[in-house]
A and B are shown apart, each in its own frame.
Chain A
Amino acid sequence: MINIKDRNFRIGAGITLVMLLIILIGLIWTPYDPNAMNAAEKMTAPGLRHPLGTDNFGRDIFSRVVQGTGATFLIALCSVSIGLLVGLLVGGLTGYYGGWIDEVLMRLNDSITAFPSLLLALVLIAVFHTGKYNIILALGIIFIPTFARIVRMEVARQKSLDYVANAKLMGVKSMRILFVHIMPNILPVLLSTIAIGFNNAVLAEASMSYLGLGVQPPDPSLGRMLNEAQAYLSRAPWYALSVGLAIILLVLGFGLLSEGLGGESHA
């Protein structure tokens, strides 16, 4: 299913792996404590001590970018996981059993997907209020319909295949057929959707935190830092640029991955 030789896949995987590596290292070690302030070293230019200089509190920008990328990635990971798990459950059950519940849920699904995701995120933030965990929850909920729709489609397709009929004949319980037999078969198809999900989650987190509705200071996240870096665009352009680059690399990596996995490129 996965074409390892695909150029998009290779480049995407490469970028994503490098970013993941940086994030992983950042979880264990950063050159400085990303939140530690230092009055003696405010707004320094990039140099040996601070590869990307320091911000207006004397915090090490490099450490913050690494930590912020990690924070954004974690938010994306958690929200995609929520969307995927609930989507699997809802899509699996409706796809397998069909019936009027299926109809109602899919209609509901359609009406929810009618909201642009940023708009939906704003509505949900109005319900949950701002903050790191609330943004995870909000984004998670937003991803449910997409996953549910794809899972439903796949389950409905697989249901008519021989191996399911055989399992039924052997008296395997429906639940077991659904979750043990069918699910593993649809996972490869889901991979590209997951990659797009990450893509959208990174962009959504960045947008929301940029608007001040996501991660709160002093914690770094890519959107939050872009908001902060804007003030120093002329004195410290590398600040905004490095944050922007991190967002672009994450999105590019996931975008290429999803294309390589056979998905559509557009979000």
Chain B
Amino acid sequence: MKKRFLALVLAVLMTAALCACGGGKSPAAQPTDTPNGSAGEKALGGEITVGIAADLDTSLDPHVSSSSAGTREVLFNIYEGLLKPDTDGNLIPAIAEDYTVNETADTYTYKLRDGVRFHNGKTVTVGDVVYSLTRAAGLETGEPLVAELKGIASVEAPDDKTVVVKLKAPDAEFNAYMYAAIIPEGSDPAAEVAGTGPFRFVSRTPQDNVVLEKFADYWGEGAILDKVTLKVIPDGQTMVMSLRSGAIDMAERLSSSQIADLNELTILEGSSNIVQALYLNNDFAPFRDIRVRQALCYAIDKHAVIDLAADGHGIPVGSSMISSMGKYVVPELVDYYKPDVEKAKALLKEAGYEKLSFSITVPSSMPAHVDAAQVIVEQLRAAGIDASINLVEWATWYDETYKGRKFEATVVGMDTHSLAASGCLARFQSDSSKNFINFSNADYDETYAKALATVDEAEQTALFKQCETILTEQAANVYIQDAASFVAMQKDVGGYQFYPALYIMDLSTMYRVK
């Protein structure tokens, strides 16, 4: 038993290490010499204003798994799970101080850290943890709020320091989902925003701002800044202007065209940890035909998209896997479809869609995607395909395209909730609530299920890779890139950290320069 456990720990560590290696771009690629921006001295306290491209979701419930990445990256500062990711791609203890896994990988035991407090002043108890995990896993309702937790069979607290999670089936990757937020027992996060994170939620004004304050009773090192104001700036041009004028101190996930005019600011480059693609509604009549989808893959030259829309910054991808997920990445898939307009035309002719036209829905607040979509439209035109762009507000995209699945094609980036491969791949199961592209492939479902049930790491990795290959072969989407994320900060702000694989904005390490 002991040996098996050691092997598992090692495996987890190795995964983490691999992730870390692949994580983002190495600091060498960054335009500025210091990785965290300004090299000046940290000042304690102070406040900054951060521009965000989209207003947060209506619900700030951390357990709603359909929440948008932009909301989650803010909630990362407010809520914590038993474990949390660090910048090296490891999972480090947070509310849990320590954990053990049994040898069959179906029982996880967490030991609670002493003196962790919620923002409402209460101390975290096992009751809170049981309540939170039960709620997130939907043990009482039967509908898991956090889809990844559906494997939980029971959550129990044998004593007031220990929580035992039993799984329905072995899952060596389970800890990767333990980011699930811990909230006070009996609370409704829609009504009360109380987590244990380094920042506490103060207020929000619709379409304008969200205010966070340092949580003084944080169990760990805590935040450096006293206050962070997140300002909603849905227009990419206005974001640039606000950075230039100094109205905001920082903005992340900028496109290369946005930073072009920002020479007076510190610019960091990393990976935004998203899979940007022309996501296709596989249930839209023409796209039900695999030949049409493949034709699009041949018609679009992802390298040219990266060159034109992102000035060459970005890592081309061939399937739904974040480029920094190390061992899960299948590099051969990147150029599986070599750009070939004639082939695209031939495939369309074969499928009977010589005059194909469709619309690409793009959230207007995301210049990187709008720019990529413009290039895609132009490339498709060369193949005789009439694609048009439909710009919508973020909330509309989220409601209609993502949740409502009423769209033909869309250019966006998909992120992952967890460091496990499932974070990228689970959504393409036929019955997944996140399967907004309506991808339905029995082979995929079977392979994915098999991968989840496999305990042997190498075997599991191979199965996940096979899932990715199926996505590519089936031309589920036209994959473009893991887009570069540019972070612009005023010279007197520092401490921004890139996280590998995850979509995170960690405000706790940010500081003002004295």
Same complex: yes
Q: Does A131 contact B (CB under 8 A)?
A: yes
Contacts of B373 in A (CB 8 A): 217
- B390 and A131 form a contact (CB under 8 A): yes
Cα A228 to Cα B240 in complex, Å, equals 12
Question: In the complex, how many angstroms separate the beta carbon of A37 from the nearest chain B beta carbon?
Answer: 5
Residue of A with least CB distance to B375: A37
Q: Does A234 contact B (CB under 8 A)?
A: yes
Contacts of A230 in B (CB 8 A): 237, 241
Residue in A39, A42, A43, A217 whose CB lies within 8 Å of B374: A217
- A218 and B261 form a contact (CB under 8 A): no
Q: Does A130 contact B (CB under 8 A)?
A: yes
Residue in A130, A227, A228, A234 whose CB lies within 8 Å of B261: A234
Contacts of B188 in A (CB 8 A): none
B contacts with A: majority SS: helix
Residue of B with least CB distance to A129: B390
- A39 and B308 form a contact (CB under 8 A): yes
Q: Does B334 contact A (CB under 8 A)?
A: no
Q: Does A117 contact B (CB under 8 A)?
A: no
- B378 and A36 form a contact (CB under 8 A): yes
Q: Does B381 contact A (CB under 8 A)?
A: yes
- B377 and A227 form a contact (CB under 8 A): no
Also in contact, A216 and B390, with CB within 8 A (given A39-B308, A57-B308, A231-B236): yes
Also in contact, A130 and B307, with CB within 8 A (given A56-B371, A218-B377, A231-B236): no
Residue of A with least CB distance to B303: A39
Q: Does B282 contact A (CB under 8 A)?
A: no
- B391 and A37 form a contact (CB under 8 A): no
Cα A215 to Cα B20 in complex, Å, equals 44
Residue of B with least CB distance to A56: B257
Cα A232 to Cα B237 in complex, Å, equals 9
- A130 and B257 form a contact (CB under 8 A): no
- A35 and B261 form a contact (CB under 8 A): no
Contacts of B364 in A (CB 8 A): 212
Cα A218 to Cα B389 in complex, Å, equals 7
Q: Does B49 contact A (CB under 8 A)?
A: no
Residue of B with least CB distance to A234: B261
Chain B, interface size: which category? 20 to 34
Residue in B240, B307, B377 whose CB lies within 8 Å of A39: B307
- B257 and A218 form a contact (CB under 8 A): no
- A231 and B390 form a contact (CB under 8 A): no
Contacts of A217 in B (CB 8 A): 370, 373-374, 389, 391
Residue of B with least CB distance to A232: B261
Cα A233 to Cα B373 in complex, Å, equals 23
Contacts of B258 in A (CB 8 A): 231
Q: Does B466 contact A (CB under 8 A)?
A: no
- B378 and A235 form a contact (CB under 8 A): no
Residue of A with least CB distance to B234: A212
Contacts of A231 in B (CB 8 A): 236-237, 240, 257-258, 260-261
Please encode chain A, from 40 to 57, with 1 for each CB lying within 8 Å of some chain B CB and 0 for all others: 001100000000000011
Residue of B with least CB distance to A216: B389
Contacts of B381 in A (CB 8 A): 35
Q: Does A263 contact B (CB under 8 A)?
A: no
- A216 and B378 form a contact (CB under 8 A): no
Cα A62 to Cα B240 in complex, Å, equals 25
Question: In the complex, how many angstroms separate the beta carbon of A219 from the nearest chain B beta carbon?
Answer: 8
Please encode chain B, from 251 to 270, with 1 for each CB lying within 8 Å of some chain A CB and 0 for all others: 00000011011000000000
Q: Does A262 contact B (CB under 8 A)?
A: no
Q: Does A58 contact B (CB under 8 A)?
A: yes
Also in contact, A227 and B389, with CB within 8 A (given A35-B381, A232-B261, A234-B261): no
Besides A212-B391, A230-B241, 8 other A-B contacts (C-beta < 8 A): A35-B378, A42-B311, A58-B308, A217-B373, A217-B374, A218-B374, A231-B236, A231-B240
Task: Offer 25 A-B interface pairs, CB within 8 angstroms, sorted by A.
Answer: A35-B378, A36-B378, A37-B375, A37-B378, A39-B307, A39-B308, A42-B311, A57-B371, A57-B374, A57-B375, A130-B390, A130-B391, A130-B392, A131-B390, A216-B389, A216-B390, A216-B391, A217-B370, A227-B237, A231-B236, A231-B240, A231-B257, A231-B261, A232-B260, A235-B260
Q: Which 6 A-B pairs have the closest CB atoms?
A: A230-B237, A218-B374, A231-B237, A39-B307, A56-B257, A216-B389
